[in-house]
Amino acid sequence: DTEVTQTPKHLVMGMTNKKSLKCEQHMGHRAMYWYKQKAKKPPELMFVYSYEKLSINESVPSRFSPECPNSSLLNLHLHALQPEDSALYLCASSQLDRPNTEAFFGQGTRLTVV
Amino acid sequence: AQKITQTQPGMFVQEKEAVTLDCTYDTSDQSYGLFWYKQPSSGEMIFLIYQGSYDEQNATEGRYSLNFQKARKSANLVISASQLGDSAMYFCAMREGSLTGTASKLTFGTGTRLQVML
């Protein structure tokens, strides 16, 4: 089973709203990632969690707040977003006991900020 | 500096023909991994194939093979017997410098859009 599940699939939110994106995997992976992808561009890394601890933050604005409650779950809390934050948000996971291992992605959440 | 370079923004191939998607990379690490992902219009990133820097054999997965030329720092994807369902965006990616206990970045190229024609 190489499944990473993201919810919701689509989200429309206003600039004053607070919402959360959720990601779940049951592959026993101890690394989890958030990527942002604008149209016709490659995914850009936002955050990496290793053993449920934040290990990489790519200077992401504080209106994006990641959380890793346990080894299977990853959340991205959104607050006071801007229209330019509209994008596809991808979650991924990978093993940590093998170096340079592949990451498996979810189907993404298409976020529109109005 | 660009770590992963994909010079073909778009490619066309006839159904049942083979196609090669180009990828070059830049790293000073000895240990790294190279990956190809497929992204259909639905948005999901689908892992296709992996090549480790120490692997002497080129990786193969069904109709996908990776032509790894380490000295030239290239990792081209070959798709044999193209199908209509292969039409998608294809990304080359690299992971380098992975330390035990900490996940490293997976960095993507700009992608190649492949269109398979009847």
Distance from CA of B80 to the nearest CA of A (A): 22
pLDDT tens digits, one per residue of B45-87:
999 999 999 998 999 999 999 999 999 999 999 999 999 999 9
- Chain A residues within an 8 Å CB radius of B46: 105
Q: What would the pLDDT profile of A19-67 be if each residue is shown by its tens digit? A: 999 999 999 999 999 999 999 999 999 999 999 999 999 999 999 999 9
The DSSP-derived string for chain B is --SEE---SEEEEETT--EEE--EE----SSEEEEEEEE-TT---EEEEEEETT--SPPEETTEEEEEETTTTEEEEEE-S--GGG-EEEEEEEEE-PBTTBPPPEEE---EEEEEE-
- A56, B105: Cβ pair inside 8 Å? yes
